[in-house]
Amino acid sequence: MDSAQKPRICISVCEPTIAALERAIASAAEASDLLELRLDCLDAVNLQSATDLITKLVQRAPGEFILTFRPLPEGGQRDLDIETRHAFWSDAIFSDSLYDVELDLAEKFTANETATALPIDWRRTICSHHDFSGVPVKLDQIYDRMAATPARVLKIAVQAHDAIDCLPVFNVLERAREEGREMIAVAMGTAGIATRILGPSRGGYLTYASLEAESATAPGQISARELQELYRIGSIDRQTAIFGLIGSTTSHSVSPHMHNAAFAAAATNAVYIPFEVHDVNAFLRRMIHPHTRELVWNLRGLSVTARIS
């Protein structure tokens, strides 16, 4: 990340009614740079009148918005087939917002002979792909399909089961940076927390957060306050010294709080991150050993908690 570029934090908001959505926006607006409004979370009654109400809400509220209408397989709250999603976006015009459109739908928009007449603005579109089962073997091919659409920003979110699952996510983020593409790449789950903390410093367009820990809308999502105050994400760059805690479970540990507080007090450019590791040999070989590691990063030291295999 450019030292002059502030990392962008996007808080995801998922509410069943327009009224609740408006209250959540008011609460989250001061804590983030963008808000993601999960329109798939609206109940059937509110969704029916969502277009006009959301347009007015977005126009009144400060800041920038990302609007999503996500189906169940992609982490959504509603069973939305591609025709329903296509019809929704074809009828909805939300000015001054970003649209998060799934890869299958982006390809359908692109293939449509009347695509130029559709209201979707590709310059404000995020083409996304989510996989809650793990990391696809052919992640590069998914990236290629996304890059072939006219979408300005690409987004890949996959489920991490071990810290080494962060590697393909960091790799695709690096590829996008080298190709001059705007990219969001996230490894979901507690094993993927490193991608949420380090992603912006490695070229990520933004990182997602929740307003509070209990309101997370994706596995492993941490609060905006933690990103800002605990991990000091605004100070992380490619020179930041990285320390961490490894173990088969790290969520119970207070080590990140202790070490990061010490770094802040000493004004040290360093961060301490929890790494959920189940295969320690693979972690050491692929992420730590100077001759075999697959990631260029300023790793300085690790501590160990719990039993790891």
In a domain, 90, yes or no: yes
Query: Residue 172: is its pLDDT beyond 50?
Result: yes
- Give the per-residue pLDDT at 231: 97
Q: How many domains does the chain have?
A: 2
- Give the per-residue pLDDT at 113: 56
Same domain membership, residue 113 and residue 43: yes
Structure confidence at residue 6 as a pLDDT band (50, 70, 90): confident
- Give the per-residue pLDDT at 93: 63
- Give the per-residue pLDDT at 216: 75
In a domain, 2, yes or no: no
- Give the per-residue pLDDT at 4: 47
Same domain membership, residue 248 and residue 102: no
Of 235, 265, 283, the position where a domain reaches its end is: 235
Assign 73 to helix, strand or coil: helix
- Give the per-residue pLDDT at 9: 93
| Whether the Cβ atoms of residue 190 and residue 162 lie closer than 8 Å to each other | no
- Give the per-residue pLDDT at 239: 95
DSSP character at residue 61: S
Same domain membership, residue 303 and residue 179: no
Q: How far is CA 104 from CA 112, 243, 273, in A?
A: 12, 39, 35
Mean pLDDT value across the chain = 88
- The 10s digit of each residue's pLDDT in 82-133 is 998 888 887 766 667 889 999 999 998 888 655 555 667 889 999 999 999 9
- Give the per-residue pLDDT at 118: 61
Same domain membership, residue 168 and residue 57: yes
Same domain membership, residue 200 and residue 272: no
Same domain membership, residue 247 and residue 285: yes
In a domain, 54, yes or no: yes
Quick one: which of 134, 59, 120 has its CA closest to 91?
120
- The 10s digit of each residue's pLDDT in 192-219 is 999 999 999 999 999 999 988 777 778 7
- The 10s digit of each residue's pLDDT in 229-243 is 999 999 999 999 999
Same domain membership, residue 98 and residue 157: yes
CATH number of the CATH domain containing 154: 3.20.20.70
Same domain membership, residue 211 and residue 189: yes
- The 10s digit of each residue's pLDDT in 263-283 is 999 999 999 999 999 999 999
- The 10s digit of each residue's pLDDT in 11-61 is 999 999 888 888 888 888 777 878 999 989 988 877 776 666 777 777 666
Same domain membership, residue 247 and residue 225: no
Domain limits for position 286? 239-309
Same domain membership, residue 173 and residue 101: yes
In a domain, 267, yes or no: yes
| Whether the Cβ atoms of residue 33 and residue 234 lie closer than 8 Å to each other | no
Q: What residues form DSSP beta bridges with 125?
A: 99
- Give the per-residue pLDDT at 142: 97
- What is the four-CA torsion angle of 84, 39, 193, 305, rounded to 10 degrees? -100
| Whether the Cβ atoms of residue 19 and residue 32 lie closer than 8 Å to each other | no
Q: Maximum CA pair distance of the chain?
A: 60
pTM: 0.91
In a domain, 1, yes or no: no
In a domain, 217, yes or no: yes
Same domain membership, residue 172 and residue 288: no
* Token digits of residue 177: 């940076």
Of 186, 214, 235, the position where a domain reaches its end is: 235
In a domain, 3, yes or no: no
- Give the per-residue pLDDT at 2: 45
CATH number of the CATH domain containing 274: 3.40.50.10860
* The Cα angle at residue 293 between residues 288 and 297, in degrees rounded to 5: 70
Same domain membership, residue 284 and residue 258: yes
- Give the per-residue pLDDT at 105: 93
Between 307 and 249, name the one with better pLDDT: 249
- Give the per-residue pLDDT at 306: 66
